[in-house]
Structure formats: C-alpha cells, structure tokens
A and B are shown apart, each in its own frame.
Chain A
Amino acid sequence: MSEPRENILVHLLRIDRRYIYLILWLVIMLPLIFPFRIQPKPTPPVQQLFNYIDTMPENKALVISVDFTPDTRAELQPMVVALLRHAFAIKRRVGILAISVYGLGLGEEAIREVTAEFNAHALTHEDSVIYGEDYVFWGWTTPVLTVMLGMGERITNVFPVDYYGNRTESLPVMRHIKNYDDIGILTSIAASAIPLSWINFAQVQFGVNLSCGITAVSAADFYPYVNSGQFIGMLAGMKGAAEYEQLVAERMKKNGMDWALRNRGTEAMSSQTAAHLAIMGFILLGNIAYFATRGKRK
C-alpha cells in the first residue's frame, strides 16, 4: 500500500471522537429537518398485537401499563399514543396505570394528546372519548406485587382513587372493568424487565393476556416470551412504534377517521435509518483502517 494512503488510514484510526459526534449529530438532525418518508413493513410480533386488539371482543378492555421513564420517552411514548388511538378508534374501553411513578406524567401526556384528537373531531356524545366512561387513569400505587396480584381480584381495591382523586367505584367504566377477567389484553410499555413481572404475577396466577412495548436494545431479551406465546405481540423500539402507527392509521382511515394525525415514531424513522447507516459506515471504516494498517502497527 502506498505511504500517503496508509497515513490517511492511520490518521482515521486515531480520529478525534468529536468529529464522530459531529457527523452523527448532523446525520440525526438533517433528516429531522428535511425528512424523507419511510414506511416500515410490520414485523410478525407487531402485526400479531394489532390483530389481537383489533378483533378483541367489545366487552373487553385494553389496559396500558406505562412502565417507562422520561429518558426513553422518544422511543416508547409513540407506542402509548398509537395504542390509545387504536382502542378509541374501535371503541374499546381503556385502563391506564403506571408501575413506575415517572410513568404518571407520561401517561397523562398521552391521554391528553389522544383524547384531544378524538374530541376535536367528535360530532356527537357517542363519538367523544369521555373520562370515566370510555377510559380511566388509575394512576400509580406501590408495591408492584400488590398491583399485579391485586388487579386479579378487584381493581378498585388496588386503586381506591384514580389519578385525579375520584373514587374509582364511582366511575361508570369500572362497572365493566372489575379485574383481569374483563381485560382483553394488558400491554406493558417499559425500558426495563417489568413486562416479565407481569408474566410472573398476573399471567401465571390469573391467565391475563399480555403484550409489551420495549426499547430496541432490550428486544432480544423478550423474544423468548413472544415465541412461547406468553406475549401475544411485541413492539420493539421506535421501529415497532412506527409499524404500529402505520397499522392504526390504516384502521382509522377505514373507519372514516382520516385525520392526518402526527405519527412521531414514523417521523423519526428517517433520522433513525440515517443514524443506523452512519454507525454501520463507522464500523466498516474502522475495520478497513484496522486491517489495512495492521502490518504497520505490528
């Protein structure tokens, strides 16, 4: 190899990390400013979850457990929003709770956003999404074991008051959601191993159907539970959220709800794709430089 080219490769190996940070920052920012449209094709775990919720009996509720913290909001919050939209679009009751106390604010944000969307387009009382009738936000209580096992007996015992201080017994929706028997599926959105606790306590004891939404880095840990059928479906990372958003958008369109809503997971896909490609480029470049200069370094 010629001397100048070898020098470039050696220089590349010792490049200041700040250049890498700068390149990555540009790669992430530019597609956010000038987005290119990417519509990911739903993977089997996402499609399974969508199909299950979509065909859930009318008298069964969707329960969303907001078990993540604000640091993973960008990745996981689109899942909560998409699930809420799906449930409200097909008129299923929704219960929301938080296992982590941080989940309260995130759950509240998602509820506000989605209920505002639906109520802005509602022409009749039937079309509206009303608190206490169509959905309930139970809030947070501790410890985890009390919540997961107690909800199998009577939810109002575990959450005597909701997040807003109302007696849960007084809410009409609670006449239809008494315990796990009334829950069609419970989805735990988490950046930790909390979904596995739902399996250990809620599913093993009471047989409730479960699914999960998790960060991309932890997806590999949850595949054994999807394969075994313990999780009916799974949303993995922002891509999982984007795939679910696409399915929900199609369902809403079919139901005459073509409202051109923002899909934050899908919007971020262009940036994430560019970042993935950049990281692959970094790894390739690093390896080429490493092998090309191996002899010289020896």
Chain B
Amino acid sequence: MKRRIPLLIVLLTGIFGAVAFFVPHPAIRAADETMRNDVNRIIAAFSLVLGVGSIVQHHLLKIRRKAQFWSYSYITIVALVITAIIGLFGGIDVSRPGILPTRIGNFSFHIQTLYSNMMVPLAATMFSLLAFFMSSAAYRAFRARNLEATLLLLAAFILMLGSVPLGRIIHRQLPAFAEWILAVPNTASKRGILFGVELGIFATSLKIILGIERGWLGGGGK
C-alpha cells in the first residue's frame, strides 16, 4: 500500500497532465487550473517546510556529532533564522519598513541591504574564481594532441577572437565567421543532441507514469 498509493497518484496526475494539454473541455480546463493554481502551490509549500526541516536537521546532527567542520553549521542555522525573521517581518528596505525595527541610526539591515551587501558579493566571489581555474586548466590541458582536439582548439580560438575587437582587426569577417560557427555547425549538432535528449525524457516520463521506473520512490527501486 505504501508504494501503490504514490504510484497511483503519479499515474493519475501524469495522465491528467497530458490530457489537459490536448482536451479543451471546460471541465478539464477548470480541473487543470485548480491543479496548477491550488494543488501545486500547496505541494510547493510543503516542500518548503521539508527543505527547511531537512537543512536544520542535517546541521543539528552535525553539531551534535561534532562531525567535520561542524562549527560552520552554527553559521548556517543562525543565518537561516536571522534572514527568515528579517525577511518575514523587517520589510524590504528603508522606504518599505516592516513591523520589526531594522534600522539603527544610519545603519540598515533590511532584507535588500543584506542581499545586496552579503549575498551578492559572496556569490559573485565564488563564481569569479572560475575564471582563474579555467585559465590554469586551459594552459595545462588544452593541447592540440589529435585532430579532434585541434578542431576544438581552432573553433575556440575563432570564437574568442570573434568576440574581441582584435578579431575585426585581423580580418573584418572574423566576427561574422564566429557567429556562423555558432549559428550553423553548432546549431546542427545541438539539434541532433536535443532530439535524442527529448526522446529520452519522453521515454523516462512514460516509464515513471506507468510505474515501470520506480527509483523515485526510494529504496533502490525494490
């Protein structure tokens, strides 16, 4: 029963979801709208509870067991609680205050202030490191060892040159040629890959709806 009910729900909602796309009957449309606007949102709200519960439980367990880097778990939990409180009750910014006082003198800690001054620089710092790793990797590993690697190297060079002004100085048509590589050979190969991927998604979706693929139920598909 524990497995049959979820399988039945997936079967019914999966078939309904597909039917709703093809049958314009008002009753189907109304049911589809209720499913999307109400049922989906309720499920999403539960997933939020599940997500917050899961992250709190995970980090509390780490702290209790004094697992590796357990002290960082305090930061996660404290940041989660403070951000949630400020976000829920502190208002967006100075011009739109909430019920919680989030300003001391000229110092404000509204959610937008926290976001712009903490979240943005932290995330940008992490992402910008990629440029350094990429350049080091390109220097060490991007070698014209065989025909395929040489072609890749040539294409990369043309694209990089095409996107900087030097490319136009070398040859006026180089940027247009770089654009052509993206628009024609790249598109042709991507389309082939996409057809394969989409067929794979279609087959996997059918297997899940029909209960053939049960990995999502957990327990290793037993």
Residues of A within 8 A of B (CB): 15, 17, 20-21, 24-25, 28, 38, 40-41, 43-44, 69-74, 102, 104-106, 108-109, 141-143, 145-146, 149-150, 153, 157-158, 163-164, 205, 216, 219-221, 223-224, 226-227, 239, 272-273, 275-280, 282-283, 285-287, 290-291
The CA of A20 and the CA of B141, in the complex, are separated in Å by 14
Q: Is the CB of A150 within 8 A of B37?
A: yes
Describe B's contact surface by its main secondary structure: helix
Describe A's contact surface by its main secondary structure: helix
* Closest A-B pairs by Cβ, 10 of them: A71-B127, A105-B115, A70-B123, A282-B139, A71-B123, A70-B120, A273-B164, A142-B44, A17-B136, A286-B139
Q: Which of A142, A153, A223, A286 contacts B33 (CB 8 A)?
A: A153
Sample of 14 more A-B contacts, CB < 8 Å, known A24-B135, A73-B123: A43-B175, A44-B179, A71-B126, A105-B111, A105-B119, A108-B92, A108-B93, A109-B112, A216-B163, A223-B186, A224-B191, A276-B163, A279-B135, A279-B138
**Residues of chain B from 43 to 62 with CB closer than 8 A to chain A in the complex:** 43-44
**CB closest chain-B residue, reference A158:** B37
Q: A21-B136, A143-B41, A219-B182 are in contact. Are A287 and B143 (CB under 8 A)?
A: yes
Bin the interface of chain B by size. 35 or more
**Stretch touching chain A among B1-9, B99-107, B153-161, B211-219:** B153-161
Q: Is the CB of B138 within 8 A of A109?
A: no
Q: Which of A21, A70, A157, A291 contacts B119 (CB 8 A)?
A: A70
Q: Is the CB of A41 within 8 A of B36?
A: no
- Which residues in B have their C-beta under 8 angstroms from that of A220? 182, 186, 190
Q: Is the CB of B179 within 8 A of A150?
A: no
- Which residues in B have their C-beta under 8 angstroms from that of A223? 182-183, 186-187, 190
Q: How far is the CB of A29 from chain B (nearest CB, A)?
A: 12
The CA of A280 and the CA of B153, in the complex, are separated in Å by 10
B165 lies within 8 A of chain A by Cβ: yes
B140 lies within 8 A of chain A by Cβ: yes
Q: Which of A38, A105, A142, A277 contacts B112 (CB 8 A)?
A: A105
Residues of B within 8 A of A (CB): 21, 33, 36-37, 40-41, 43-44, 92-93, 96, 111-112, 115-116, 119-120, 122-124, 126-128, 131-132, 134-136, 138-140, 142-144, 153, 156-157, 160-161, 163-166, 168, 175, 179, 182-183, 186-187, 190-191, 194
Q: List 12 A-B contacts (CB under 8 A).
A: A41-B175, A71-B123, A71-B126, A73-B120, A102-B119, A106-B120, A142-B44, A149-B36, A158-B37, A226-B183, A273-B166, A286-B139
The CA of A226 and the CA of B184, in the complex, are separated in Å by 11
Q: How far is the CB of A14 from chain B (nearest CB, A)?
A: 10
The CA of A20 and the CA of B135, in the complex, are separated in Å by 7
Q: Is the CB of B138 within 8 A of A283?
A: yes
Q: How far is the CB of A102 from chain B (nearest CB, A)?
A: 8
Q: Is the CB of A24 within 8 A of B138?
A: no
- Which residues in B have their C-beta under 8 angstroms from that of A286? 138-140, 142-143
- Which residues in B have their C-beta under 8 angstroms from that of A290? 143
**CB closest chain-A residue, reference B113:** A105
The CA of A216 and the CA of B132, in the complex, are separated in Å by 16
- Which residues in B have their C-beta under 8 angstroms from that of A221? 190
Q: How far is the CB of A72 from chain B (nearest CB, A)?
A: 6
The CA of A163 and the CA of B175, in the complex, are separated in Å by 42
**CB closest chain-B residue, reference A24:** B135
